[in-house]
Amino acid sequence: MEQLISRGHWDEILKRLEDIGKLTNLLWNRVPQQGDMAILFTETLDKESYSKQVFDLLHGADDPMVRFERYIRYVREHDLPNRWPFPTYLLFLFHPETEFYVKPSVAKWFLQQAGEGGPWSSQPSVELYATLKNQVRRFGEYLSSYSPTDMIDLQSAIYMASYEIPRMQKVAVWWVNQGTTYRAAREGGFLWAPLRNRAGRTEYHWETMAEVRPGDIVLHYSNNAVRAVSRITEAATIRPAPREIANGPWESEGRYVKTRRRGRWTFWKPALRTPWR
């Protein structure tokens, strides 16, 4: 980047920044002028000064918080789109050992869980970024027995927790169509779905097994009726098909979940003849 700056190749710098933004799915870019990289598509953007400001943000000699403050000040003074994702994404990629990518919805949720329930600012601020990084470091200390390597590991853990914790606080109801596998699954207390059929293709309803969580309710539909109701006791793991159903028209590897019946096995024949999907 330093060489491109010395040669005045501003358009090339902006293009490379855009390419970097598209390397992952962390940034929303479906509508470029409104997305997380909207600043790159602003008509009033001074390409030279902005390129130099990004270089300072990523490679300046000062402390990262000082560089971040300068970047924020520049964006405000030039009336440019001022959002969390893009500058913190660049810092995160170039300095994953110390810098954290701020996806606002996830970061806000994390701070609330950490007891930092103060007002959230939709625009970047040094104070809020410092608070967030401090709490992430504390979270890393809590996970020290798992040996997280850097902010990438912690970012992933926080992102998954922001999905899993609210999800596990809700009970989902699943409708499962079962044919010849029903009796074996009932007796064994399991559900199993292959990853692929013998042609190497998967099915949407097989993939949803990955979304099942402990506590969810399952309605077992077989032979034109709801035959049983059960509750999930363990989330899906990848394992070979149970021996009771191992000879079906599918590959041997699949998703396996444990179930426990709710009370007595029920029998319910709904008026709707076609099973829900």
* Structural domains in the chain plus CATH codes: 2-165 (no CATH), 173-261 (3.10.590.10)
Is residue 87 within 8 A of residue 29, CB to CB? The reply is no
pTM for this one?
0.72
Q: When comparing pLDDT for 82 and 223, which is higher? A: 82
Specify whether the CB–CB gap between 219 and 203 falls below 8 A.
Answer: no
What is the structure's pLDDT at 49?
Answer: 97
Which tens digit of pLDDT belongs to each residue from 2-45? 999 999 999 999 999 999 999 999 999 999 999 999 999 999 99
Residue 262: its pLDDT value, please? Answer: 66
Which residue blocks in 98-229 are alpha helix, DSSP H? 104-113, 126-142, 151-168, 182-188, 204-207
In the chain, the N- to C-terminal Cα span, in Å, equals 52
Mind listing the pLDDT tens digit for each residue in 147-196?
999 999 999 999 999 988 888 888 999 999 988 888 888 889 999 999 98
Phi-psi group of 206: left, alpha or beta (phi > 0 → left; psi -120 to 50 → alpha; rest → beta): alpha
Q: Which residue matches tokens 């949720």?
A: 109
CA distance 118 to 128: 10
